[in-house]
Structure 1
């Protein structure tokens, strides 16, 4: 038997009007009631009729998502959760993977008659996107944007606190020789993580072993660590800008016959899928992918529903302690 809106109303214990408001992204519904409706929708497997709703509302039922890479399991999780959240509201995702903004890139998405709203995930050329979206009147939400001036309608992570947390964990273990391998300077998150790390070390009266700027990839971590090994000058701990860099560090150490964390402790960032697959399992700073997706979906639907007051939300990362960090072995600096 086909599930309809009346079944959802009965299951949730709310009126058909309230259910309809939730499904249409109305900002006037209480959060408690919204959650009850979404739970009923999920349990019943209800899918609103997107075509019928488009005819009645003048909307397409499509949300665009623009991101720079698919080679990132954290981004992948965010997109999956976004899809789940928005599907419960009767929306479909159209995903575009682009590098830098150009006249042709994602042109089919940035048109007012193609999408009801856009989510930009870690955009590199956000100013160009924002100008175009404002010109066309397209509601949008930024995730992990690069410029604080664009924080209206954004979901960001407190990367400064993330950098502090990584440094504090290593300091509390007793490390005083700590290197930081940063990602690309183009990213706001790179700068914020580094600032938090350096400030925490400064409070402890410690200078970093070395700060190295590179890319968010395995090769950068591997080559940098290989250089330290060849120079016979290693830190006792490494804070890697992300889990891919951390993997490169661990690969180089293992190849040289060194043990993690016995000889060198390593902490990553993001809690990518690979973090729990490595041997030893990687200690890392987790970005709250589920929370990012939920907040972005709620913010965008509120905006589509008529909320004009700008919104922004900063979420907190968390320390995930696994097996790649430990006290420095005796006799090391």
Structure 2
């Protein structure tokens, strides 16, 4: 099969088929769909190397991550991969223990047409390097604001605020916060939302602590607080893994969730709705984040000048079984 067969099958010209294969914006959507349908029926796949030579592009978008054990990242990557495929691009995903090596491998114009930086730890260095190499890129879930880089972030402040307001609405006045590592802006923003909600309600923080984004981290914090006889009526955890560890530790201490203590997590990891009690949590809009990120990057690759705006997405509070009205004693 070749391009002439596709043209005959679709009822369109060879020129139109060629434009579709090269992602030309001048093709009407109806014609684009006719060509794509014809290609699918004929099982026609153009030679990607030849297309790259004609277009002067690789047809590849790069993304590098160091943590794949997280439903949030997994969902963002899946959406990005699907959206890029719709645009005729492949996603080159670098998963490495050494993030610098993984990303630097992708930081070459002859390897990728653009880069999506997802929650980078070496963010400032990466931004400067990509600018120097003149490679189009966008930031997702970034830690810093950049005046000349488009980015998509979640309103973590709002997520922390809504989670805490939920607990206050259930009558809790002794609410503690257990967050993740302070290196992350998201951690600080979730805590800021927690503090703001308490302040508006005229309440003082019962206590705050931090640990890694791990089940063992939440478990150890809860065990320590229990030994010190320092337990609130509710915990807001800045991460689902922390929340699950905390629930397990409380169970071992004979403390029931939510009968004795309510617990809220953050992220909506894919398994938290399968444990008992099913975890009340804050879900991040990863589908929106991935879709908008691809849309912005495609515009940059096509030469559009974008304002360096930060797109901020609202998270969603999912109320399940780990929170209940405060038990009066």
| TM-score bucket (shorter structure) | 0.7 to 0.9
Say if 2:143 is the partner of 1:146: yes
Deviation at 1:202, TM superposition (A): 0.2
Are 1:139 and 1:303, in contact at CA under 8 Å, matched by a contact in 2?
yes
Question: Gaps spanning 5+ residues in structure 1: where?
Answer: none
Q: In the alignment, which residue of structure 2 is the partner of 1:250?
A: 247
Question: CA–CA distance in 1 between the matches of 2:197 and 2:24?
Answer: 42
Q: Which residue of 1 aligns with 2:120?
A: 123
CA distance in 2, matches of 1:309, 1:139: 11
Instruction: Report deviation, 1:146.
Output: 0.6
> Counterparts of 1:251 and 1:155 in 2: how far apart (Å)?
34
Match of 2:199 among 180, 184, 202: 202
SS in 2 for 1:66: strand
Whether the aligned pair in 2 keeps the contact of 1:100 and 1:124 (CA below 8 Å) is no
The aligned residue for residue 284 of structure 1 is: 281
Larger Rg: 2
Query: Aligned partners of 1:56 and 1:47: how far apart in 2?
Result: 18
Distance 2:327 2:44 in 1: 57
Which whole-Å CA distance do the structure 1 matches of 2:175 and 2:148 have between them? 32
Query: Paired residue for 1:300, among 297, 309, 325?
Result: 297
Deviation sequence 1:133-182 (CA, Å, 0-9, x none):
11111100111111123672111001111111111110111110000001
Contact 2:211-2:221 within 8 A present in 1 as well: no
Question: Per-residue displacement from partner, 1:260-301 (whole Å, max 9, x unpaired)?
Answer: 110111100011112212211111000011111111111111
Assess, with a 3 A threshold, how the Cα gap between structure 1 residues 6 and 265 changes in structure 2: closer, same or farther: farther
Partner of residue 62, structure 1: 60
Q: How many Å apart are 1:18 and its aligned residue? A: 10
Task: List aligned pairs for 1:33-72, cutoff 5 A.
Answer: 49=46, 50-72=48-70
**Aligned partners of 1:67 and 1:97 also within 8 Å:** yes
> 5 Å matches for 1:101-112?
102=100, 104-112=101-109
| Residue number among 173, 177, 198 corresponding to 2:174 in the alignment | 177
Structure 2 segments unaligned to the other structure (5+ residues): none
State the distance in 1 between where 2:111 and 2:182 align. Answer: 34
Contact 1:101 1:129 in 2 (8 A): no
Question: 1:269 and 2:266 equivalent?
Answer: yes
Distance, in Å, in 2 between the alignment partners of 1:129 and 1:77 is 23
Please give the alpha-carbon distance, in whole angstroms, between the structure 1 residues aligned to 2:8 and 2:171. 59
Assess, with a 3 A threshold, how the Cα gap between structure 1 residues 255 and 9 changes in structure 2: closer, same or farther: farther
Superposed, 1:72-91 pairs within 5 Å as 72-91=70-89
- Distance in 1 between the 2:9 and 2:121 partners? 41
> Residue 280 of structure 1: SS of its match in structure 2?
coil
- Report how far residue 67 of structure 1 moved: 1.6
Which residue of 313, 318, 321 corresponds with 2:319?
A: 321
Hey, what does 1:155 align to over in structure 2?
Answer: 152
2 CA distance for matches of 1:7 and 1:321?
A: 55
Identify which of 213, 217, 237 aligns with 2:214: 217
- Is 2:235 the partner of 1:238? yes
Aligned partners of 2:54 and 2:119: how far apart in 1? 34
Which digits, 9 at most, give the CA deviation of each residue in 1:89-112, with x for residues without a partner? 11111111346764x443221111
* Alpha-carbon distance in structure 2 between the residues aligned to 1:7 and 1:148: 51
Q: Which residue of 2 aligns with 1:190?
A: 187
d(CA) in 1 for partners of 2:222, 2:22: 52
Conserved in 1, the CA contact under 8 Å of 2:157 and 2:191? yes
Scaled by the length of structure 1, the TM-score of the pair is 0.86
2: CA distance between counterparts of 1:71 and 1:153?
27
Is the CA contact 1:9–1:19 (under 8 Å) kept in the aligned structure 2? no
Structure 2 CA distance for aligned equivalents of residues 217 and 237 of structure 1: 19
